[in-house]
Structure 1
């Protein structure tokens, strides 16, 4: 099963502006007084107690990360396929498409294809840079994962087709003019 991680960063020239909700709150003293109140402390301690009693200590085992730098290529590549899902030709095509994206749009895209034995039905995962959200709606990423990362798509067409289709959809989206309807369709 493949796990595709596509970190995307904005071009260095992207303007960054604070959204309207990032302005200071006018009545912050009311909130501060409420936080300092005894009732808030009581509710918080009760919630923590319930949370600890329901969770238990040491019951859940966290997955341990694997550190295997020997799996990484010796030279830089925008496509790293440690899972072996892509042919050499597919890797070269994707690397060229990614280079074209960077040259044409300034966005950086990286593909990491790897195995996770217990990955649930959707195999696509995206790490999106903070300023990318200014140009691409967040809903695009969930629609993309839902279309090309679902179990039905990659079981029928293969993990390699899912990876290629996702990269091409990202390419199409990044090349659309920024506006209220950009990236509204996963192509």
Structure 2
């Protein structure tokens, strides 16, 4: 899912020909497109986005803009779907909303899975803070092992808006560990192919199983930070650092 989803769409199980039906309620004028990338993973079957059906009237009141994520976020981050008022009709596992897992004080980095050392978490938080001060873009990082996650509770905690990138790292269902939910302002500045290339480079199973989840997270944060600092133009974010 970059995550504003239209009123209705379907994800098709390639090979199983079984659809996951999702429903969306309220809408907003600027959210009219859907982009899904990467391979989605359920407990047993790798998914591919085979069909996305949207209507020009589809809108979203969450202020989230277009999202960019893998379909695996359906399982790994029900929060990404829930940002846009979507209820899972048939897909499993269920969404999570556990505000008790949120930190007591604000932080742009939440490590609910224990992937990061204290030093790593501090470095990422500093990088994210500097990035926001310099560019206005708000990168937020959530490391989790579903279902041990605050889930959609982070929407209000982080005050997610059009300038926000919610980066979720979750290896619990296998496959690619990196998931991104991108606000409309970010979507206008960053080529959509950047997110798929980033996930392919640092999120693939071979990378994070060899180097660790922490290495994938740090590498992705660094690449996003570099991309968002580049001047706009046809070559912007063309290289994954």
Instruction: Confirm or deny a common fold (TM above 0.5).
Output: yes
Structure (1 or 2) with the greater helix fraction? 1
Q: Which residue number in structure 2 is paired with residue 143 of structure 1? A: 197
Identify which range, 60-69 or 99-108, moves more after superposition. 60-69
Distance 1:101 1:156, change over 3 A: same
Q: CA RMSD in A?
A: 1.9
Offset from partner CA, 1:143-178 (integer Å, 9 cap, x none): 000001000100111000000000000001011111
Shift of 1:133: 1.6
* 1:121 maps to which of 175, 185, 194: 175
Three-state SS of the structure 1 residue aligned to 2:233 is coil
* 1:71 maps to which of 88, 101, 112: 101
Q: Which residue number in structure 2 is paired with residue 39 of structure 1? A: none
Q: Which residue number in structure 2 is paired with residue 176 of structure 1? A: 230
Q: What is the CA–CA distance in structure 2 between the aligned matches of 1:119 and 1:129, rounded to whole Å?
A: 25
* Structure 1 segments unaligned to the other structure (5+ residues): 1-5, 8-17, 19-59
Three-state SS of the structure 1 residue aligned to 2:144 is strand
Q: How does 1:46-57 map to 2 (within 5 A)?
A: none
- The answer to which structure, 1 or 2, has the higher relative contact order (CA under 8 A, 6+ apart) is 1
Structure (1 or 2) with the greater strand fraction? 2
Figure out how many residues of one structure are paired with residues of the other and give that number: 131
Q: Which residue number in structure 1 is paired with residue 133 of structure 2? A: 103
Q: How does 1:7-46 map to 2 (within 5 A)?
A: none
* Structure 2 segments unaligned to the other structure (5+ residues): 4-29, 31-89, 147-170
Shift of 1:67: 2.6
Instruction: From the CA coordinates, give the structure whose radius of gyration is larger.
Output: 1
Deviating runs (4+, > 6 A) in structure 1? Answer: none
Query: Which TM-score applies when normalising by structure 2?
Result: 0.52
